[in-house]
Amino acid sequence: MPVDTITQSVPTTLRAAVGGTTRPALPQSRAARELGLKRSEFDLAVRLGRIRTVPDEGGGGRRVTRAEIDRVASEDGFPEALREQVRAVGTAEGAALLGVTTPRFTRLARLGLVSPVGFYLNRYRTVVWLYAAEDLRRFTEDEKHAPLLRGRTPEPLRRRLDAGLDLRARNWRGRHLGSLLRQANDPWARAAALASLLEAAQVEETVPDPCERAHMNRFAPEPPSRSAAPDSPAALLTRRIMTAEDADEVAWLRSDLASALVEARADRPAPRPAARPGPEQGPGPECRPASPDPDPEPNPDPDPTPVADADPDHRSDRASGRHRGLLGWLRRGDD
């Protein structure tokens, strides 16, 4: 699988002189229009590192500098080449690209051999996974994958499938976390990205200080789907997909969250409420988790957000004996 492009932090407003004027960074919806992309295509381009975004100094959603728009628009084959790079397909079209049947494609995805880049829920509340067409083309070009595309699935892999292996949700979480970490320009934001994939009780055990949890929560990333009501079935299912399930995945996240907290504390301690003067006044006010800043820019594009195949079963492989940290794994990228 391809390695996601690493993005760089740049100032929010590009102060390039053009006839004595400044060139402010644009909201993402405006940037998508200028690049001729649907919002779903633009969002996937950002997640894959094709388009770099920067934080808004005013506290709003992330923005895109004019320099970045100029860079993307100047690439060879623009805009058709960019659209092809961010084209996402479902199971049927993905199977056609690989030249295999739909059931075989689903097996490859469950085994983690092709990884989703997004998902959405259809009208029946079934998870529809979407895959990057460019990933699938590269998969077919690798000769070592030829036996997986023809003939019987090897017996060891069939046994894992029979045992219920399904790595789609887990692999999506890995790519999603990689995107969050690339965009995080603050150590507390990196900690919040890791915490976003854990159960609340696991975060509380790893970060026992309520003031640190409250401060970290200010940097909590937006969920992939913002249109569903918080307690709706769609929101609950999305949250299930976003939450690590296997013991080794949870252990990786908690270990890396603890390491990220060490870096965040060294950068700056979490703010604490001032204590009331005098012992008769009692203890100072408690730290309370703050809600993350709302994104002022809704997603107007009705198209689903890209990532791979339809199946509501999200069980993951109980892999054992792995000792690499999750961040190290992400930084390696897909081989």
Tokens of 199: 């159960």
Biggest distance spanned by C-alpha atoms of the chain: 79
- Which residues of the chain are modeled with pLDDT < 70? 1-22, 59, 225-228, 275-286, 288-335
Which two three-digit tokens encode residue 214? 């409250």
pLDDT at 289: 55
DSSP string covering 225-246:
--SS-TTSHHHHHHHHHHS--S
Report pLDDT digits (tens) over 254-292: 999 999 999 999 999 999 987 666 555 544 456 765 554
188-203 in b/e burial notation, b at 16+ Cβ within 10 A?
A: bbbbbbbbbbbeeebb
Residue length, the chain? 335
pTM of the model: 0.77
Rounded to 5 degrees, φ, ψ at 131 are: -125, 150
pLDDT value of position 302: 45
Domain ranges of the chain: 14-85, 169-272+285-297
pLDDT digits (tens, 9 = 90+) for 191-216: 999 999 999 999 999 999 999 999 99
Three-state secondary-structure class, residue 18: strand
Q: Which among 200, 220, 225 is positioned nearest to 291, based on CA atoms?
A: 220
pLDDT at 7: 37
